[in-house]
A = this chain, B = another copy of it.
Amino acid sequence: MERNREALLAAAAAVFVEQGVQAPIRDIAGRAGVGVGTVYRHFPTRAELVTAVYRHQLDECAALAPQLLREPIAPTEALTRWVATFVEFLVTKHGLGVALQSEDPSLLSLHRLMLEKLIPACATLIDAGVAAGEIDPEVTAYRLMRAVGNLCILGAGYDRADAKDMVARLLTGCRQTRD
């Protein structure tokens, strides 16, 4: 049933927020009100479940880059806005940051997804900024995103506002410093 797939994605998203992407499969099944077998039927591996939960957001985020480039704004502004959206996703979906930088084999798919979709998207914005002399050419999409992803790992005393602030400062530090 399609209903279960939806329920599972919702349950998984909720459980990932609470426990992270390494939460026991049973917990997700229980939250969705189904048996563990059902989880395995729909998502044979943990990676497939995690990937499914975040795929849509990642696609949207990737699609945002070309849109921003078409707008009549400075490359730096475009990158800033894109990163802001990225951050929004990261802090909304607790655990995604960790997942994106994990080397856990069961999360390889998600990592690959990031490499395939987000890195190129982010890279186009950085390239535009570099071309305009606004961004330090040393900055690479991969490193920047890893850093942003890390900065978005929240905790007590370090909320999403703090993360946004720190990401903004990091971007400031990525500006071209021609002195």
Contact = CB atoms under 8 A, between A and B. Distances in A.
A89 interface: no
A174 interface: yes
A128 interface: no
A-side binding surface: helix, strand, loop or mixed? helix
Q: State the oligomeric state as a number of copies.
A: 4
Contact of A173 (B138, B139, B144, B171): B171
A72 interface: no
B142 A158 contact: yes
Contacts of A168: 173
A151 interface: yes
Contacts of A144: 166
Given A101-B153, A151-B147, A173 B162 contact: no
A102 B155 contact: yes
15 contacts: A101-B155, A142-B157, A143-B157, A143-B166, A146-B158, A146-B162, A147-B162, A150-B151, A150-B153, A151-B151, A153-B153, A169-B172, A171-B173, A172-B172, A172-B177
Interface of A: 101-103, 138-139, 142-144, 146-147, 150-153, 155-158, 162, 165-166, 168-174, 177
Given A101-B155, A103-B156, A150-B152, 18 more contacts: A101-B158, A103-B155, A139-B169, A142-B158, A143-B162, A143-B165, A144-B166, A146-B157, A147-B166, A150-B150, A150-B151, A150-B153, A166-B170, A166-B173, A169-B173, A170-B170, A171-B173, A173-B173
